[in-house]
Structure 1
Amino acid sequence: MRFTGKVWRYGDNVDTDVIIPARYLNTADMKELALHAMEDIDPTFAGKVKEGDMIVAGKNFGCGSSREHAPGALKAAGVACVVAESFARIFYRNAINIGLPLIELGEGDINIKDGDMLAVDLAAGQAENLASGEKFTIPALPGFIQDIAQAGGLVTYTQQQLAKKNN
């Protein structure tokens, strides 16, 4: 899987209440939730994010409540993947379940700025900041996680696997 998109840069401890505020959780419609994604930390995000854009953040992205709406709202908004130093474990699992790829870089300086263009190749474990020309290695996602993301989520992936078995 390859992505090229604009970077939306955020800091540490971006919690699920910021990703999708609880006041909007009276719907399960992800397209509706996408209209409010990140609005408490960045009121311009939902109106300007484009399909294929990426979020780059610091430590503990997705901390807070275990709501699966948070990665769903980001994916529905068009976010292709999230790159961070670390992720809250339940957010990580929820993102995999819906097919939103996450790249965990570990601690260190991530030299990617808000508005930069980033190219990511998940299969090759490569990324390039197109603004600076800097290339770097990213942890390659295990093949089965790439397959889940490619299928659009765990449910679709499982359905595909069952259909293969029954043929």
Structure 2
Amino acid sequence: MEDMRAAAAILKNRKVAPGVVLKVVPATSAIWKQCLDEGILHIFQEAGALVSNPGCAGCAAGQVGQNGPGEVTVSTGNRNFPGKQGKGEVYLASPAVVAASAVAGYITLPHQIPDKPAVFQITSPNKKNKKSDAEKTQKKDKPMVTEGKIWLIDRDNIDTDMIFHNRHLTITDRKEMGKYAFGNLPGFEDFAMNARPGDIIVTGKNFGAGSSRQQAVDCFIALGIQCIVAESFAPIYERNAINAGFPVISCPELKKLGLSTGASIRVNFETGEITNIENNSKIYGVKFSEVQRDIYFRGGILADAL
């Protein structure tokens, strides 16, 4: 409620600047009802804000819509990695700063709100050069069957902090992320030094539990890991991997292959077939969905926007 009251205090007797869309999404039904009882929703309405049902706002679910290419969002959310709230830029700020910025038309502080809001033209983002036919063909030629030596990490509930420790979250260059992969996973601290491009990770249940940090996917892409096969994935991690065009396959019966580190397997993304090359034993995991296959061929959900 403190956040809602702080925003309402800024917006009372003020209007959202022309061309700005202010979206207000109470976190729970209880907060929404209290806002109604205290007259806060009326203040938001009078200011010209869009008030939604309770939920997660502009996150991956896109409850009230996400921003588009060239658009700028100032959000009270706690994450702004690429694609989290859309294809535009996202700045994180307090409720008071977000409300003040909505009134001013640009990012500002509550005590610096101008008497008149900024007036700006809404223009289409600059179109980047279309990708060549060769580039498009190269993406569609990505293999649907892959082979490689495995790293067997026979553990359940490996979380994103074990995969990519939070002390490295300031790193934004994907190429630099690989050296920290599994750096906080006991017994695998030297994984990044010994892993080779083309290797495959085989692991247990609920892989990627914890926070939604994208670096926990990107560090493996940086190392050239071909794919991860797990008994199951944490839902957010799985979605992040799919969105990045990084192959992940769930296989609840994975242990039946009797694998060990250094063994070689073949993974068919189209059928879900996983083969132990040493003895030709086979099991089936969850094959790529049509959407996953499309994103994989495109090189990631944001590939065409980059």
Name the TM-score, length of structure 1 as normaliser: 0.87
Could you tell me which residue of structure 2 aligns to residue 2 of structure 1? 145
Identical positions, percent:
38
Distance 1:63 1:8 in 2: 19
1:121 to 268, 273, 278: 268
Preserved CA contact (<8 Å) 1:7 1:117: yes
Distance 2:167 2:158 in 1: 17
Q: What letter matches 2:145 in structure 1?
A: R
Preserved CA contact (<8 Å) 1:86 1:107: no
Secondary structure of the residue that 1:154 maps to in structure 2? coil
1:50 aligns with 2:196: yes
Residue by residue over 1:19-73, the C-alpha shift from the partner in whole angstroms, topping out at 9 and shown as x without a partner, is 1111111111111110110122212211121222111111110001111110111
Secondary structure of the residue that 2:302 maps to in structure 1? helix
Preserved CA contact (<8 Å) 1:59 1:107: no
Cα gap change, 1:29 to 1:127, in 2 (>3 Å): same
Aligned pairs for 1:68-79 within 5 A: 68-79=214-225
Preserved CA contact (<8 Å) 2:272 2:286: yes
Distance 1:40 1:134 in 2: 33
Could you tell me which residue of structure 2 aligns to residue 34 of structure 1? 178
1:112 aligns with 2:259: yes
1:101 aligns with 2:247: yes
Could you tell me which residue of structure 1 aligns to residue 211 of structure 2? 65
Preserved CA contact (<8 Å) 2:147 2:264: yes
1:154 aligns with 2:301: yes
Preserved CA contact (<8 Å) 2:183 2:191: yes
* Range 86-95 or range 124-133, more displaced: 124-133
Could you tell me which residue of structure 2 aligns to residue 164 of structure 1? none
1:131 to 274, 278, 286: 278
Cα gap change, 1:73 to 1:108, in 2 (>3 Å): closer
Q: Who wins on radius of gyration, i.e. which is larger?
A: 2
Residue by residue over 1:96-147, the C-alpha shift from the partner in whole angstroms, topping out at 9 and shown as x without a partner, is 1101111111256342222111111111322211133212222211122112
Distance 1:63 1:99 in 2: 19
Unaligned stretches of 5+ in structure 2?
A: 1-143
Secondary structure of the residue that 1:144 maps to in structure 2? helix
Cα gap change, 1:147 to 1:126, in 2 (>3 Å): same
Could you tell me which residue of structure 2 aligns to residue 13 of structure 1? 157
CA root-mean-square deviation:
1.8
1:89 aligns with 2:235: yes
- Higher relative contact order (CA closer than 8 Å, sequence separation 6+): 1
Secondary structure of the residue that 1:123 maps to in structure 2? coil
Unaligned stretches of 5+ in structure 1?
A: 160-167
